[in-house]
Amino acid sequence: MKRSSFLKSIALGGALVTNIDKGPAAQSGPLSQENKPKATLSADLVIAGGGLGGCAAALAALRNGLSVILTEETDWIGGQISQQGVPPDEHPWIETHGATKAYRDFRTAVREYYQKNYPLTAEAKSRKNLNPGDGSVSKLCHEPRVAVAVLTDMLNPYLSTGKLTLLLEHKIVSADVKGNKVQSLTALNRRSKTQVTLAAPYFADATELGDLLPMTGTEFVTGAESKAETGEFHAPEKADPNNVQAFTVCFAIDYRPGENHVIEKPREYDFWKNYVPKMAKPWSGRLLDLSYSNPKTLEPKQLGFHPEGIPTGNNLNLWLYRRIINKANFAPGTYAGDITIVNWPQNDYTLGNLIGASEKDFDKHFERGKQLSLSLLYWLQTEAPRPDGGKGWPGIRLRKDVMGTEDGLAKYPYVRESRRIKALFTIKEEHVGAEQRAAVTGQSAGVKAAAFEDSVGIGYYHIDLHPSTGGDNYIDFGSLPFQIPLGALLPVRMENILPANKNIGTTHITNGCYRLHPVEWSIGEAVGLLVGYASSKNVLPRGVREDKGLLAGFQEFVKGEGVETEWKG
């Protein structure tokens, strides 16, 4: 499927466009499509990418009086939590601390959405920390569409007042840059094929792959750095800019016992059925199997699968892992069965790199990723081993409505790794990795992550790198609750473009713990607040970090906005 036309497979959406300046007065006589003047939109901040980082940046800027233009390539805002179909991956303390107030407000609003609109059981409705799916991966496993609804509700007041212009189904295709500053971006309406110029004093790259960095000439890195470059314990001996983590095309399924919902055999099924990943440290066997490489030891590890949620002994039942609807939480008869998201080791795609890919190659790998996911579904329906000795679960049904697409697969690949800016400060394993941090500090117990004097947020996740395009198996090891340094959000040269997603100053290794939902939100929120603060002080964002007084003032400002800058205890 062509990237330029992949919207044919997604539910119809729209774009709210306001305050359009039509540009120069029309010339006499008819104009061709090529020489028609572009419309121009202006705001205090232009944000490319409507994922969690982009939405958080927009909300932070908007509540502090700035005007914002927010673009999104698909018809759903929310990024990994919606268009990519990934329930939130969060740390164990998320209910009380370790995230911004705005992110916790979002989580609360998701729960309230279910309590207000869904026929929950009395017990579930009264549960303080409702988890609609009771998935084991998160304390809040929920439907992608609910995330879209909640984020839209959060943005609606600003849409109504005209402070926010939201351009859905718009992709940034070029940039106008002078010296160290971006002047404007050009966005393509993917439906009408018209273009619009977006002008602002500040820009944020919240795209999933760091698309603005090469367009604007912002210095960046990709893939894996060498051990000689970073000194990281887990870095490879040789750098490889094309070695990035797998992406995944997620999908949703439910189970209807006694029914047959087997899909047509995918055209690449024979390939994927027999595919054994080629990795430097061997995979457990065939990819389509109920075994995988233990992320920490790389030894073969068995998994379980039973679509009725029945325990599978000591093995993780994959059905329960990312379950987003547990029918037991709803009034009897509401759901015939549970709904779960399939984002498993078996549909991680390692045969191509989306970063820097041409449109043709992006299309090719996205389509092959879809074929892998459909092959996994077909395998589950026809060949997966059952506890009774039989094969296949024909009652498994692809829930196209959950993902809002015609083919039932996510609107966009779940991207784990992006381009990363060359930043004023780069976060390395020595700053956040448990083992290397202990070696650096000489502490055998009670070791903490590096304390950054310019911290503008906090987060936590273990360092979790999925199998890669360069043939790495899992790289998964302990990290420490960490801070987000302002220096990692500032490019080495460019003055008015900031990263607001997975494209901050991390390494290939530390990206593994800075890429999850609440951290992406915290990054975006810090960027939105930084633009407002720097504008109010009439300094560049880097000037805030360079002046100790301004830095202290900014840190007090973000704390007042509900942002934690250091871990308790």
The answer to whether residue 12 scores a pLDDT higher than 70 is no
Mean pLDDT of 443-458: 95
Half-sphere CA count of 20, side-chain side, radius 13 A = 12
pLDDT beyond 80 at 1? no
d(CA 393, CA 484): 45
Domains of the chain: 40-242+416-561 (3.50.50.60), 247-415 (no CATH)
The CA-atom distances, in angstroms, between 314 and each of 170, 201, 301 are 47, 56, 11
What pLDDT sits at residue 34? 46
Report which of 541, 502, 416, 525 is spatially closest to residue 205, judged by C-alpha positions: 502
Rg (CA), the chain: 23
pLDDT computed for residue 568 by the predictor = 87
- Beta-carbon contacts of residue 35 (< 8 Å; ≥ 6 apart): none
Whether the Cβ atoms of residue 376 and residue 337 lie closer than 8 Å to each other: no
Number of CB atoms found within 10 A of residue 547's CB: 14
What tens digit of pLDDT does each residue of 309-345 get? 999 999 999 999 999 999 999 999 999 999 999 999 9
pTM (2 decimals)?
0.94
Q: Give the pLDDT mean for 415-431.
A: 98
Mean pLDDT of 553-566: 98
Q: What is the pLDDT of residue 551?
A: 98
Contact indicator for 435, 233 with CB cutoff of 8 Å:
yes
Residue 210: CA count within 13 A, CB half-sphere: 27
Ranking 9-23, 203-217, 237-251, 464-478 by mean pLDDT, the lowest is 9-23
What is the pLDDT confidence band of residue 36, given thresholds at 50, 70 and 90? low
Tell me the per-residue pLDDT of 354-381, one tens digit each, with 9 for 90 and over.
999 999 999 999 999 999 999 999 999 9
Does 27 have pLDDT greater than 90?
no
Start-to-end C-alpha separation, the chain: 51
Question: Looking at residue 15, what is its pLDDT?
Answer: 43
